[in-house]
Amino acid sequence: MAKRIGLLGGTFDPIHIGHLRSALEVAEQLNLDELRLIPSARPPHRQAPQVSAADRLAMVALAVAGSPPLQVDDRELQRDRPSYSIDTLLSLRGELAAGDQLLLLLGWDAFCGLPSWHRWDELLNHCHLLVLQRPDAGGVLPPALSQLLAAREVKDPQALRGPGGQIALLRQTPLAVSATQIRHLLASGKSARFLVPDPVLAYIHTHGLYRASN
Ligand code: ATP
């Protein structure tokens, strides 16, 4: 049987309950066999992460332990190049069965910026796009994306069929948590308890991460 695999990329600097709840809800709603969290090495679109790839990977691994179908995938950390989604998809496709379904999870804002991504017009050859739409979503859709949506949108995410090629929007109310907020709390000596899983917090403290001197 073909597998359904979700992909959530991010810097995860650090991973927090916003990422984890969102991922778990998608996995349950869409009956995913796996939802892989993929820490990025050198994100093309933003500043360098504050802590090392090894630490971010270790924290994601601690966060998902014992919560199938959430899994960590370290392939972007194996490359010493910017993490382009197209390369990640091609690498995954090289390992999976031809019929396996890949769903790339994107926030609405990220979706609106898609035309600036490297080889963006090839992404749908390898996966579906699952766009997570917040109730307050702003962001103006460029004309190229309006056309793409008109051609490829499936109204019900459950109805995504085949290995890739379609787009579905999924409404989700995210928890108001960000890694930026957590880094600021820790740098000012405040607690991040209940915003990250306890084993992640223990790792942060053991390794002295995100202190003002880092
Ligand atoms: P930062 O504050 O450093 O920008 P972040 O908290 O937004 O980080 P990222 O690692 O950049 O975390 O996010 C990875 C993915 O998770 C992105 O697709 C982002 O939209 C999504 N995400 C971030 N925060 C939340 C949240 N609270 N709920 C649901 N999804 C989230």
> Domain containing 67 — which CATH number?
3.40.50.620
Q: What is the 3-state secondary structure (H, E, C) of the chain?
A: CCCEEEEEEECCCCCCHHHHHHHHHHHHHCCCCEEEEEECCECCCCCCCCCCHHHHHHHHHHHHCCCCCEEECCHHHCCCCECCHHHHHHHHHCCCCCCCEEEEEEEHHHHHCHHHCCCHHHHHHCCEEEEEECCCCCCCCCHHHHHHHHHHECCCHHHCCCCCCCEEEEECCCCCCCHHHHHHHHHCCCCCECCECHHHHHHHHHCCCCCCCC
On whether residue 88 sits in a domain, the answer given is yes
Q: How far is the CA of 1 from the centre of ligand 1 (A)?
A: 32
Q: Is residue 17 part of a domain?
A: yes
Does 79 reside within a domain? yes
Instruction: Classify residue 102: in a domain, yes or no.
Output: yes
In-domain check, residue 191:
no
Within a domain: 43? yes
Note whether residue 190 is domain-resident: no
**Best mutation site among 22, 83, 171 for ligand 1, i.e. most ligand atoms within 8 A of its Cβ?**
22
| Containing structural domain, residue 36 | 4-175
Q: Which residues line ligand 1 (CB under 6 A)?
A: 8, 10-13, 18-19, 22, 107, 110, 174-175, 177-180
Query: Is there a domain that residue 45 lies in?
Result: yes
Query: How many structural domains comprise the chain?
Result: 1
pLDDT tens across 105-149, in order? 999 989 999 999 999 999 999 999 999 998 877 778 899 999 999
pLDDT digits (tens, 9 = 90+) for 69-102: 999 999 999 987 777 999 999 999 999 999 999 9
